[in-house]
Structure 1
Amino acid sequence: MTLEKGIYIVTGIMASGKSTIAQMLSEQFEKGVHVRGDIFRKMIVKGNIDMTPGYSQSAVEQLVLRYKMTAKVAEMYYKAGFSVVVQDTYLGKEVASFLEAFESKPVYFITLNPNVEAIIEREKKRNKSGYTTWEVEPLYKVLINENPRIGLWVDSSDMTPEETISEIIKRVKSEARII
């Protein structure tokens, strides 16, 4: 099955496989781009405010700025003829405003949702540590309790990256299209 040109958004909590899956998904297209939304946070040299469990309004404002920049870059690539795979942690009530920033259609929203045990195991094997201010379970609860139940949700707990991509390709057209 081939994927149609569009903007594909891959989200999930840290260590859910977003980077790996987004890269593999972007490679499925003749003209594919992988936009890592977190790059805009990393560009802040001084004054970055992370989203911590006790986040401030300033942290939310920086997060919204990051989301807006990600959407603009994705739109520019899409209008230039690319299929775009956007990847970042999109959680809670800010998901709706992020999705509203997209003018181009279609947009597909994919949530990677492996269980807590799989996240903990994956985090141990990574060459970076995502869980410095958050613990896995509280962040997982934010995903489960606060994210809108839209698009395609994939429990990739027992899947390889290849199996996850296969599952996404099989289900994306019927379940992930939101706009």
Structure 2
Amino acid sequence: MLQDVVLGPDLPAMVDRIRHRPLAVVVLAPGAEVVAARERDRPKQGYGDWPVADLDAEFRADTPRIGLWLDTSAQTPDETVDEILTRAWTDGRIG
């Protein structure tokens, strides 16, 4: 398992570098307002001076829609895990 933040054309490049198949790609894509609220509630700040809305717009415009994209805005962490376990190998499978 690999977990990372991979945006834009780096996503298909990363997929190409991973030779093991089958491979499932899952992209967590909550709305920008939800990410901003979650960021405010965290003790550690991960975005620094980068506005969440700007990053989200760039992410959605430049990242190819490969794998399973999940809008986790209304999900708890447990619900997100359940959806990943249910759908990753059918809807997120690459090769």
The TM-score with structure 2 as length reference comes to 0.92
Residue in structure 2 matched with residue 147 of structure 1 by the alignment: 63
User: Mapping of 1:85-100 within 5 angstroms?
Assistant: 86-100=2-16
Based on CA coordinates, which of the two structures has the bigger radius of gyration? 1
User: Mapping of 1:8-23 within 5 angstroms?
Assistant: none
Structure 1 residue runs of 5 or longer lacking an equivalent are: 1-83
User: Mapping of 1:1-179 within 5 angstroms?
Assistant: 84=1, 86-179=2-95
Report the aligned-residue RMSD. 1.1
Classify the secondary structure of the residue corresponding to 1:87: coil
Structure 2 residue runs of 5 or longer lacking an equivalent are: none
Classify the secondary structure of the residue corresponding to 1:167: helix
Higher relative contact order (CA 8 A, sep 6+): 2
Number of residue pairs matched by the alignment = 95
The TM-score with structure 1 as length reference comes to 0.51
Counterpart residue type for residue 115 of structure 1: G
Would you say the 8 A contact 2:24–2:93 is kept in 1? yes
Moved over 4 A (4+): none
Q: How many Å separate the matches in 1 of 2:90 and 2:82?
A: 14
